[in-house]
Structure 1
Amino acid sequence: MFSTKKLTPFFYLTLFYVVISFILRIILLFHPITQSTFSGVEILKIFSFGILSDILIFVLACAFLWLYLIFISNSKYRKPYGYIHLGVLLALFLYILSGKSILSEYGGGLEKVGLIFVGIKTLLFALLLFLPQKRDKIRHWLFSFVIFLYVVLIVQNAISEYFFWNEFGVKYNFIAVNYLVYTTEVIGNIMESYPVIPIFTSLFIVAGTISYFIIKKSKIYIEKIPSLNEKLQISFLYLILFGLSLWTVPNLAKTENATNVFTNELQSNGIYRFYLAYVNSELNYFKFYKTLPEEEAFALLDKQISDIHGISVDRKIVSDSIEMHKNVVLITIESFSADFMKMYGNKENITPFLDDLATKSLVFTNLYATGNRTVRGLEAVTLCLPPTAGESVVKRKDNKNKFSTGSVFKSKGYEVKYLYGGDAFFDNMQDFFSGNGYDIIDKKDFSPEEITFANIWGVCDEDMANKAIKTMNKEAQTNKPFFNHWMTVSNHRPFTYPNNKIDIPGDSKSRNGGVKYTDYALRKFFTMAVKQPWFKNTVFVIVADHCASSAGKTELPLDKYRIPALVYSPEFIAPKHCTKLMSQIDLMPTIFGLLHFDYESKFFGQDVLKSDYKPRALIATYQDLGLIKDNILTILSPKQEVKQYKLVLKPNEDIKGDFKLYYDEKPMKEQRNDLVNDAISYYETASYVLKKKYIKINKNSTDSNGSHYLLKFTLPTLQYLCKRITVFLFGCAFGFFGYFTF
């Protein structure tokens, strides 16, 4: 049996984590924000279950430590294996350095991160290989660094949990997840709000001191590296504990069921709460935002949306004309800001086709996206629902069988499809759209000869345009109307596309190039579409999913949410400008109005062309929820905070009045309470109907073929899954090779 001394790195780190968590619970228990009293039984439950949860969570967190320690050996440096290993690392480094690796396709800083990571691994392995006499000392410093890193993260997490509790009175929730998304803004806020330098100086001093003692007690592991047999025994023991922890932690969380909310929060483990928040992607509106009594909230909503009654958004939409079952093609353009177009003041001529098409279309000049992610745009045009706090419904577990744009078209006998040039598994689109009755055409449905160019996000927009025409020609032969929702991909980092198509090279990785190429691909699509027999009976709706950037000087900068929207059907809809303030959620209900559809609606979106429409727009981040109305922006934030800004249009002689999009947002000293209540009514009722599942349709709903909304395992799907699994396994093997070089 191996010596228990070989377990000392695990033991001392676990002990340190449990002690820190115990101290933190005591501090939070007596924190001023913890406005509650606890019985002896509750305190016993908080600390006993809390400590057990901490131990189990840290067992899981030790997976990286186990992997690091278990692969420490001297045998990997023996000839010829050491030289082969080093050669592979050098080849990998040069591959990434070439700028043509798969990492370069993702854009951003991923390529640089990969280069630094592999470069450090290569350098360390070379030192350990060529300096055997220094190997023990180098390994000691690497071991010390790993221990120090664990200690720093433990202390940092405790500090973060304290400040989060200080702000919100709870353990981590989706706001904490959100902080990882808005890193720049969050770091800036922290720098301004807290004495960062003293805090982090103290952190590193404490972490360094604690690390010194842990390293001193546990360095026997690297001084007398365990044999293969001992490593197998350590691994067996760890994997048993790992499996036990995986099973126990969720069940232990179920005991957080006290009527006293603070008891549940103090008992919980912050790291596990963070994981749950990340997975569930929701932020409880009723817990963190300003609310009204339910009846009052829905009564206010009734004043803004005609004909709803009671605790519901259900209403009957009745047209005064005969329904027209025209084909509808909805094209959502990736990251397409209003200011890319000429009519909004752009002078770079990057959207020549859409600029021309706008002169022949119904143009909604004053439309705002609900969010700044693709899934928010898809949610807005599919569910016509305000952007509730947390992640988009598209990415939530309860995202199926919703009343949607697709369900309205299906009720009218339409073929309903979602077209996407990438892999629809990305961003949970496959699950969402298939779960709501859409048939899906994506990259796995393309034959090799149909793909002329692809990057990490999928096939180029031209290839998708060709596929869309083939799909629509096939649908037209069924003599049934069709609704196709096409999501473009080319206007996305890394902005690569085929060369010799536009005057900006396809490998220049230019944002303007991505925009102009998508415009070019849309021209190709319409050039083909106009030749098809179904063209004259089709309504084309073109809108952005969100803007290209969301950063601004204020929480919700209006110009970062303004998007273009066109409706083109030359023999049906006359060119016109609709200048009413409107939201992305209103677009499809307006299309239904143009087609004179009668239907039972659960939408918050409205037909903006009706006389009773009351102009407003809804914009949001993951946690700031905004209402634009009466030239005032009202923002609801966690901790029941409310801010209001007067919107003052900035003069710009180069832009016509209908298309001016830049505003100064001036804080208001006195609140407009009526607008605050209007904002609350929208977001509270939207959160309520989602929570109560009031916008679900029949749970046993089936598609037009009578099959349930389940993923159809066709041969292309199975091939796709096999490919994904192969890539995943290769990535795991590659990760092991790269990670455990020392």
Structure 2
Amino acid sequence: MFYFKRYSPFILLLLLFLVINALLRTVLLLHPITQSEFELVDLMKIYFWGGLSDFFVYSIGSIFLWLYLLFLSDKKYAAPTGYIVFGLLILLLAYLTFFNTILDEYGGSLPEIVIGFLSLKTICFGLLLFLPKYRKSIRLGLYSLTIFLFVLVMVQNAVSEFFFWNEFGVRYNFIAVDYLVYTNTVIGNIMESYPVVPLFLSVGIITIGITYWIVKNSLYFLDNLPKSTDKIKGTVAYTVLFVTAVTVIPMLGDKANNDNVFVNELQANGIYKFAIAFKNNELDFDTYYKTLSSKKAFALLKKAMQGTSNNSTLRMVKSEGDELKKNVVLITVESLSEEFMTEFGNQKHITPFLDSLAEKSLQFTNLYAVGNRTVRGLEAVTLCLPPSPAESVVKRKDNKNKFSTGSIFKGKGYTVKYFYGGDAYFDNMEDFFGGNGYEIIDKKSFQPQEITFQNIWGVCDEDMYRKAIQEMNQEAKQNRPFFNHIMTVSNHRPFTYPEGKIDISSKSKSRNGGVKYTDYALKQFFSMAQKQTWFKNTVFVIVADHCASSSGKTELPLEKYRIPALVYAPGFIAPKHVPTLMSQIDLMPTVMGLLNFSYESKFFGQDVFQSDYQARAFIATYQDLGLIKNNVLTILSPVKKVKQYRLIQKKNKELKPEFEIHYTEQPMQHLNKQLIEETIAYYQTTAHLLKAKKLNKTKA
């Protein structure tokens, strides 16, 4: 058939798409972050199933190309058809421009985009209609531009996938969807992190070269436009191909079930992964995960969390001592992996202040972050509940009036604030914290003279800390205790910060520089805080939001979730190492225990110093939900899959066992049913209680 000949642009672009994706797989396969060895059968799966997936993804994605080629014709410009079509285009354009339409109901940029496209289409149609002598040249120009755009999308997507892999070690996922939503911040981050001019020039040159080759080799198609019979036959064939692709692609997705996560990721098609992530930003637990009866799930929860009843987490937390209304400053540090600290084996000494502070603090040496995004860390220390599949509660519509650390402090007479150096609109933080009773201090609150340095993520940490000190000085004058939550931003790509502060230049844009400046800024904060009247009556809690990287050979590599956590209150809390296995969600309930708080709790998080605490930790991605307990990692995955790994701590003579973060995750052939049911119980009850709004704030 005419559309499927070797000179057809449809076929030439298909070949290009297959070649680009094969090359991309090879590059990602050899990337340093791909920490895995592959057997021959693995490589065969990656390239065979991957190539097949690429073919069918193209079959769906090329629908716009197909429609463009289908409507290439000279007949539509013949009188009177051409004039009628042109007139209708003008009328439609006028209607959309001057009258209220359904597009206006959607709002945003949609009306402008549609009007712009229709204007261009009308102009091009007019040129081809009224300049028949130049029709061939005009069509060639428009055809070349169309091919250029399709090639550009393919090339640019490959580049984007490379950089996404470089950052996260996976294909597109929910993070990529977030990046599409927060385009301005993300583009700014790219502009500041990478040599964009050479990069864009290279992409442009490559795209122009490929476009020239395709146009040159498809001129026969353009000079001999298909007849009506060819169009009918071609459309029937393409429809069959399209329907087949829609059916087959999910099946190919099921083929990605290797124990080695890298095999699954390399086998997948990034565009399809993006589409799935965009569609499934929420996953219903009961639909996608293995479940228990509700009665059994809550019975197991009650066994793990004593004092709960009536299918809830509601219980009374009582303290025997007098409540201490000390100020609390919670600092969640961006991307601070435990492995950055010297005592955990880092030889580059990039956290000298934190290293010294740890020796003066209550240090939790075996604490795991619940996820690998900032919103997960914020959710964990604010709502103290296990992570939910898909999107964090922070980013959901139903994210307000939750039972939170802020609500407890507020109920005890504290002022409650959230500090963020960037725009709190990002990641829905403003909506979440504002909707849960926090006053928000973000970049919009800064006066121009208060900003000494900023990048796309916001003001530098030093500026944020100076602002926080000012606010706390004002709060101290009100004779009320305060709870302030500060979220840092400097340890984030592009890793730029004020020059001359540390011995690593900001121009290097290196992770080590970002970490060391973050540590330096924290030192400046404490230097300022020690001079304030409220310092001696304040408890400082420092914890990472998540690790710097989340990629690994297994679904949930433990070392990518291990984070530092310190409680510093000189004269009140004695320095001590706590090697107890615990979760990020336990940190604030433990701090409240140190303050002798008595309160009605709905938290899943617990005070780890209580005698009934059972050591366990939650770690998760957007789909894989894990529980660490008794040296076993249990993982629940969609399609009701369950895996378990025996955790064997690696030996390092230079480190104490409590500071060794690396484990061998050995697949278990005989699964521990008790741990599986306990894992299900935690995550299932979390999902049920959230859906039933039983984790909302307790009414006074």
Q: Provide Cα deviations, 1:639-673, integer angstroms capped at 9, x if missing partner.
A: 11111110001000111121111100101111110
Partner of 1:441: 441
- In structure 1, the residue matched to 2:424 is 424
Structure 1 574/67 Cα, relative in aligned 2: closer, same or farther at 3 Å? farther
How far residue 557 of structure 1 moved from its aligned partner, in angstroms, is 0.4
- Describe the shift of the 1:183–1:674 C-alpha distance in structure 2 as closer, same or farther (beyond 3 A): closer
Report the residue type matching 1:303 in the other structure.
K
Is residue 2:249 matched to residue 1:163?
Answer: yes
What is residue 392 of structure 1 aligned with on the other side? 392
Q: Which amino acid aligns with 2:279?
A: A
In the alignment, what sits opposite 1:664? 664
Residue 616 of structure 2 is aligned to residue 538 of structure 1: no
Partner of 2:525: 525
Give the match's secondary structure for 2:539.
strand
Distance 1:477 1:292 in 2: 53
Number of the residue aligned with 2:362: 362
Equivalences for residues 40-59 of structure 1 within 5 A? none
The aligned length equals 531
The question of whether the paired residues in 2 share the 8 Å contact of 1:299 and 1:310 is answered with no
Secondary structure of 2:401's aligned partner: coil
Q: Give the C-alpha shift of residue 546 in structure 1.
A: 0.4
Deviation at residue 681 of structure 1 after TM alignment: 0.6
Q: Is the 8 A contact 1:106 1:494 kept in 2?
A: yes
Paired AA for residue 433 in structure 2:
F
What is the CA deviation profile of residues 550-583 of structure 1, one whole-angstrom value per residue up to 9, with x for unaligned ones?
1111110000000000000001100001110000
Indicate conservation of the 8 Å contact 1:103/1:110, yes or no. no
Instruction: Tell me the residue number matched to 2:550.
Output: 550
What is the TM-score with the length of structure 1 in the denominator? 0.65
Aligned residue in 1 for 2:328: 328
SS class of match (2:675): helix
Once structures 1 and 2 are overlaid, which stretch shifts more, 688-697 or 511-520? 688-697
Structure 2: give runs of 5+ residues left out of the alignment: 1-62, 71-109, 129-133, 135-140, 142-186
Q: Deviations over 1:406-463 (max 9, x none)?
A: 1111101111111000000001111111011111001111111111111100001111
Residue in 2 that maps onto 1:13: 67
Deviation at 1:500, TM superposition (A): 0.5
Contact residue 333 and residue 545 of structure 2 kept, 8 A: yes
Q: 1:69 to 1:610 in 2, by over 3 A?
A: same
* Secondary structure at 1:381 match in 2: helix
Distance 2:333 2:367 in 1: 15
Post-superposition shift, 1:506?
A: 1.0
Q: Which residue matches 1:496? A: 496
State the one-letter code of the partner of 1:164.
P
Query: Which position in structure 1 is the counterpart of 2:562?
Result: 562
Shift, 1:507, TM fit: 1.5
Distance 1:124 1:633 in 2: 48
Which residue of structure 2 lines up, in the alignment, with residue 477 of structure 1?
Answer: 477
**Are the counterparts in 1 of residues 330 and 484 from structure 2 also a CA contact under 8 Å?**
yes
Query: Any idea what the Cα deviations from partners look like across 1:282-308, whole Å, max 9, x if unmatched?
Result: 101101111000010011011111100
Deviation at 1:338, TM superposition (A): 0.4
Find the partner of 2:279 among 252, 277, 286. Answer: 277
Partner residue of 1:468?
468
Give the distance between the partners of 2:641 and 2:618, measured in 1 at CA: 17
**Could you say which residue in structure 1 is the equivalent of 2:575?**
575
Name the CA shift for 1:108/1:644 in 2 (closer, same or farther; >3 Å): farther
What is the identity, as a one-letter code, of the residue corresponding to 1:670?
Answer: H
Q: Given the alignment of the two structures, is residue 188 of structure 1 paired with residue 286 of structure 2, yes or no?
A: no
**Which residue of 2 is the match for residue 712 of structure 1?**
none
Gaps of at least 5 residues in structure 1 are: 1-8, 17-58, 83-100, 128-133, 170-174, 176-181, 201-269, 702-742
What's 1:297 paired with? 297
Summarize the Cα distance change of 1:380–1:510 in structure 2 as closer, same or farther, 3 Å threshold: same
The one-character-per-residue Cα deviations of 1:121-150 (angstroms, maximum 9, x if unpaired) are 89999x9xxxxxx9x979969x99xx99xx
Q: TM-score of the superposition, structure 2-length normalised?
A: 0.69
Identity %: 56
Change (3 A) 1:71 1:10: farther
Change (3 A) 1:397 1:73: same
Alpha-carbon RMSD across the aligned residues, in angstroms, is 4.2
Per the alignment, do residues 348 and 67 of structure 1 end up closer, same or farther by CA in structure 2, a change over 3 Å counting? farther
For 2:29, the equivalent position in structure 1 comes to none
Distance 1:10 1:421, change over 3 A: closer
Equivalent-residue separation in structure 2 for 1:604 and 1:325 (angstroms): 23
Distance (whole Å) between structure 1 residues aligned to residue 693 and residue 405 of structure 2: 17
Q: After TM superposition, what 4+ stretches of structure 1 lie above 3 angstroms from structure 2?
A: 9-16, 62-77, 101-106, 108-125, 136-141, 151-158, 160-163, 165-169, 182-187, 270-278
Instruction: Provide closer, same or farther for how the CA distance between residues 534 and 550 of structure 1 changes in structure 2, counting only shifts above 3 A.
Output: same
Whether the 8 Å contact between 2:402 and 2:696 is mirrored in structure 1 is: yes
**In the alignment, residue 492 of structure 1 is paired with which amino acid?**
H
Q: How far has the Cα of 1:13 moved from its partner? A: 3.2
Match of 2:248, as an amino acid?
Y
For 2:466, give the aligned amino acid: N
Q: Which amino acid aligns with 1:403?
A: F
Deviations 1:70-111 (A, max 9, x none): 56489899xxxx9xxxxxxxxxxxxxxxxxx95644536977
In 2, the alpha carbon distance for the partners of 1:563 and 1:71 equals 59
Amino acid corresponding to residue 522 of structure 1 in structure 2: L
Matched residue of 2:669: which SS? coil
Deviation at 1:310, TM superposition (A): 2.4
Which residue in 2 is equivalent to 1:450?
Answer: 450
Would the aligned equivalents of 2:452 and 2:463 in 1 still touch at CA under 8 Å? yes
For 1:107, give the aligned amino acid.
Answer: S
Counterpart-to-counterpart distance in 2, 1:272 and 1:360: 46
Aligned residue for 1:513, secondary structure, equals: helix
Contact 2:341 2:351 in 1 (8 A): yes
2-structure distance, mates of 1:547, 1:557: 11
CA distance in 1, matches of 2:296, 2:390: 24
> In structure 2, how many angstroms separate the alpha carbons of the residues matched to 1:153 and 1:532?
72
Letter in 2 for 1:395: K
**SS of residue matched to 1:536:** helix
Secondary structure at the counterpart of residue 580 of structure 1? coil
Question: Aligned equivalents of 2:327 and 2:320: distance in 1?
Answer: 21
Letter in 1 for 2:304: Q
> Do the aligned residues in 2 keep the contact of 1:316 with 1:601 (CA within 8 Å)?
yes
Q: CA deviation at 1:165?
A: 5.8
The residue number in structure 2 matching 1:344 is 344
